[in-house]
Chain A
Amino acid sequence: MEKTGVLSAKEAFEKLEKVGEGTYGKVYRAREKATGKIVALKKTRLHEDEEGVPPTTLREVSILRMLSRDPHVVRLMDVKQGQNKEGKTVLYLVFEYMDTDLKKFIRSFRQSGETIPPHIIKVILSICPSIFNIRFFFVHLFLSIWLQSLMYQLCKGVAFCHGHGILHRDLKPHNLLMDRKTMMLKIADLGLARAFTVPIKKYTHEILTLWYRAPEVLLGATHYSMAVDMWSVGCIFAELVTKQALFPGDSELQQLLHIFRLLGTPNEDVWPGVSKLMNWHEYPQWNPQSLSTAVPSLDELGLDLLSQMLKYEPSKRISAKKAMEHVYFDDLDKRHL
């Protein structure tokens, strides 16, 4: 955070358009009057008759104060206090502006088929120069380099959070911001993030959008760890490949059944302690399928990495740091990331 603003948000910024809305307020694209710089303003209403500053705001700001120096975590530039028309206190979090998120990006790919915009080709060539040596290359080769780049950046950002003792707990495409021009990816929306002290505490399990929720959370585990984020990373990986959510459940039960159908119904052999979890019942018995049935266009190395991200037993799930060292990423020129 570079500044401690003296000017109020109204004086310092010109709102250009509303770009989103969250639980606690709106997000605007805005221009900083002094510099002309485009920023994102996240407005948080503070209802004075309620319970003080919302926990999500506290956590997000304090955690970003710690993590914002990483290139793969969205940068919090300032926090400004102001008042709205009714004289109520409003907080504005001033973020660097990113022009899209992974959810929109995947959607745009789904709509345009497999065609790759020229600016992405340019970026891919910069991060994987060896591609020049290939006389005839195919679209899927471009896509795989693009995929590796985004996944590596995601693992790097998650590793940075975990290295500083922070669980994100709500990783999903919508919370991964992107710059279309540079293909830079940044983790955002740390409102549900938590510091974990060891031993890892009992946490509430009503977190994470269902589709990206780890099985231990769905089954009611109250002790959980960085592995919940890595499950989400695995789900995002598969979705980047197929442009479809891997496990699109519409209830906690349906979500579990989606997972069990692909990975097999877990038992004490594959996941010791699973039957003692709070929400464990007798579930239909499915045998594990090969991941390639769900993600057919992913190569062997990618499937190996994905399988390690989607291990049932949390302690066996690959860490973000280890994932960055996986051979799947060997072709990337990591200096640009």
Chain B
Amino acid sequence: MPSSSTMPLSPDPPFLCADEAAIAGLLDAEPHHMPEKDYLRRCRDRSVDVTARLDAVNWILKVHAYYEFSPVTAFLSVNYFDRFLSRCSLPQQSGGWAFQLLSVACLSLAAKMEESHVPFLLDLQLFEPKFVFEPKTIQRMELWVMSNLKWRLRSVTPFDYLHYFISKLPSSSSSQSLNHFFSTSSNLILSTTRVINFLGFAPSTVAAAAVLCSANGQLPLSFHDRVNDEMVRCCHQLMEEYVVDTCPASVKARITEPAPPSSPVGVLDAATCGSCDTPSDRNFAGPPNKRLRSSASDAPQR
């Protein structure tokens, strides 16, 4: 399956760029949609099972690509997953079923929030999973996730900032360059979900760094007076170190040699940032035909 392409641009220019007030609102809200503050530390000291986390993220990204979901759906799934894990611990001796159930529930919730057509829950469980869960089990997990996240599922994501930040670039005038920046930045943002170090950055910072990365490092005077330029540079540097392999060709071409990871933790993270095509994945039996149900089927009719 081709991976999810970026969404086509709307032909209506007045609705393209968020205004300052909307951006300020997003910046106010974003702290409420991030994992707990100690989550990154817990990932680094391995009190959170980062291998299981990476497996879950890779599975989410593969299903996302198979169904051609929007990039926001994949990012939201991982956001729910991390926010849940930062507040709750799953049974360690579960043989992996708990993490898998959480992944399915998070992807299902994100798809229902974002997509017009959502696969049936059984059809969502692709790529020969070790366990297949019944809808009622997934529903119970969904409810647990939602109450744990205080029903804040409309998370602020880096995608909410992209067009505003792209509009700040010196060379973003033509619709062709807009499309280029948007698709390149989107791919970079999705790639960051695999690497735990990016959990330390706010969505606005990740968005600004991705735009900077896709614009060959040409820095605008400032993305926004409330976006810390130093944090953006730091995040941008991490992107160049870790996300090179998953960057689109245009970005790869200009980074001839990736800088070595700057710390032992960095080495570990770089190791976990491989492609999701593991050898076992290459032999999977073909997934079922795509059966989609419309999430708008409940639209009222006169």
Contact = CB atoms under 8 A, between A and B. Distances in A.
A62 B299 contact: no
A65 B302 CA distance: 28
A192 B143 contact: no
A141 to B, nearest CB: 34
B159 interface: yes
Contact of B113 (A48, A59, A224): A59
A165 B161 CA distance: 11
A191 B10 contact: no
Interface residues of B, number: 62
A199 B178 CA distance: 10
A89 B12 contact: no
Contacts of A128: none
**Which of B7, B10, B70, B293 neighbours the largest number of chain A CB atoms within 10 Å of its CB?**
B10
Contact of B11 (A89, A191, A223, A226): A223
Contact of B152 (A53, A62, A207, A223): A62
A54 interface: yes
B162 A198 contact: yes
A198 B162 CA distance: 8
Interface in A207-242: 207-211, 223-227
B173 interface: no
B91 interface: no
A65 B116 contact: no
A195 B114 contact: yes
A51 B116 contact: no
Contacts of B296: 192, 204, 206-207
A79 interface: yes
B267 interface: no
Nearest to A272: B11
A31 B135 CA distance: 34
B28 to A, nearest CB: 11
Contact of B15 (A59, A163, A226, A250): A226
Contacts of B294: 204, 206
Contact of B22 (A49, A165, A202, A273): A165
B160 interface: yes
Given A1-B150, A81-B143, A198-B17, A55 B10 contact: no
B112 A210 contact: no
**Which of A51, A191, A210, A223 neighbours the largest number of chain B CB atoms within 10 Å of its CB?**
A51
Interface in B1-49: 6-19, 21-22, 25-26, 29
Nearest to A61: B151
A223 B113 CA distance: 18
B72 interface: yes
A207 B136 contact: no
A163 B22 contact: yes
A209 B150 contact: no
Contacts of A315: 11-15
A65 B154 contact: yes
A225 B16 CA distance: 9
A62 B113 contact: yes
A197 B139 contact: no
A200 interface: yes
Interface in B81-133: 105, 108-109, 112-114, 116-118, 120-121
A308 to B, nearest CB: 13
Interface in B138-171: 138-140, 142-143, 146-147, 150-154, 157, 159-160, 162-163
Nearest to B139: A52
Interface string A82-107: 00000001000000000000000000
Nearest to B6: A199
Nearest to A195: B154
A201 interface: yes
Interface of B: 6-19, 21-22, 25-26, 29, 70, 72, 105, 108-109, 112-114, 116-118, 120-121, 135-136, 138-140, 142-143, 146-147, 150-154, 157, 159-160, 162-163, 182, 293-302
Interface of A: 1, 4, 23-24, 46, 48-56, 58-59, 61-63, 65-66, 79, 81, 89, 163-166, 170, 191-192, 195, 197-204, 206-211, 223-227, 250, 273, 314-315, 319
